[in-house]
Amino acid sequence: MSSVKVLVTGATGFLGGKTIDLILKEGHEAVALVRSTSNREGLPKNIEVREADLFDEASLEKAVQGVDAVIHFAAYFNFYPRDEELMFKVNIEGTKNLMNACVGTQVQRFIYCSSTETMGPIRFPPGTEDTELRPDFSYGESKIQAEQAIREISKDTGLAHIILRPTGVMGEGDLYVMYEVAEQLYGGKVFALPSDLSTEFMYTHTDDVVSGFVAALTPMSALNNTIILCPDEPMSWEEFVEVMTTKLGVKPPRLRVPRIFAKFGMILLSPMKNRKKNSFFWHGKSVDMMFATRVYSNEKAKRLLGWAPKVTMVEGFHRAIDWYFENGFLKKR
């Protein structure tokens, strides 16, 4: 396999830094794209760092020079954004600006981090790349529009693209959805759960997501394709609560209530809980997610990328919780 030089946006983020580590381990060359205000402490010491802004075309044109591929992670990621207009601007216009800067340069492929949230709840599982797009969050809609822009630029200019749609991501370093859930369960702040937790969902460990992006660097068969990254097997929310509480060493909430009461309780508590920080957990719509099937097929990723997930959901959640304790995000009692 020939070595390629890869520009990674969002290099100081949850996925970007881990992707750079694997790029280097696989014998490729990595360039980190950061904002002037980014904290660069976690980046490898000898890596080349370039500064740019997604809305400064001159800085982007300079940043993409001399690289063979671009992996675009930088995004406004929030299920409940305080500034929805800014989220759409970053995720759509920022992506278009970056890809346009790559046109006519050495860049041979533009690899984009989308999301299975473009698909929303899956009515006929497993969801595939051809499943109807029915996002139930504006974040997913912003990713749909970014995908469409990428395909249009690719068609108009000949610059090849690969769109990867990972599921929700968990693992060491994740401080959003699954960390919030672990924190609330461990702190005994969840007093009740919906009575029916049989709906299935998928979350992918960060190692598997990262390996999927690195696997997309070289195969020609993957060009101009949209590809889902997900584990082999789903988990029900009932199983999830058992896995998490057992690992955390706490008892699961005993009280079970109908969905409508669980949602109403969340809606009542939401203003107080989100006063200082806009969480994922404390929203009525988050209850709805527990009744929306999010199960997908990774057949295309296996076929076109030669990729396969190695971390089960149970192992991934266990590793994440270990990391939370080891790094002080959860305090042992």
Query: What are the structural domains, with CATH classification, of the chain?
Result: 5-171+205-232+294-311 (3.40.50.720)
Three-state SS at 50: strand
Three-state SS at 182: helix
DSSP 111: E
Among 119, 148, 151, 147, which residue's Cα sits nearest to residue 132? 119
Distance CA 226, CA 295 (A): 17
HEC profile of 254-304:
CEEECHHHHHHHHHHHHHHHCCCCCCCCCCHHHHHHCCCCECECCHHHHHH
Distance CA 78, CA 176 (A): 9
CA 21 to chain centre: 17
User: Tens place of pLDDT for every residue, the chain, 333 residues?
Assistant: 579 999 999 999 999 999 999 999 999 999 999 998 888 888 888 899 999 999 999 999 999 999 999 999 999 998 889 899 999 999 999 999 999 999 999 999 999 999 999 999 999 999 999 999 999 999 999 999 999 999 999 999 999 999 999 999 999 999 989 999 999 999 999 888 999 999 999 999 999 999 999 999 999 999 999 999 999 999 999 999 999 999 999 999 999 988 887 787 777 777 777 776 767 777 778 888 888 999 999 999 999 999 999 999 999 999 999 999 999 999 998
Whole-model pTM over 0.85: yes
Residue 5 CB-density burial (10 A; 0-12 exposed, 13-18 middle, 19+ buried):
middle
CA atoms within 13 Å, Cβ hemisphere of 80: 15
Residue 56 structure tokens: 């400064």
Residue 291 structure tokens: 């009744």
CA atoms within 13 Å, Cβ hemisphere of 313: 24
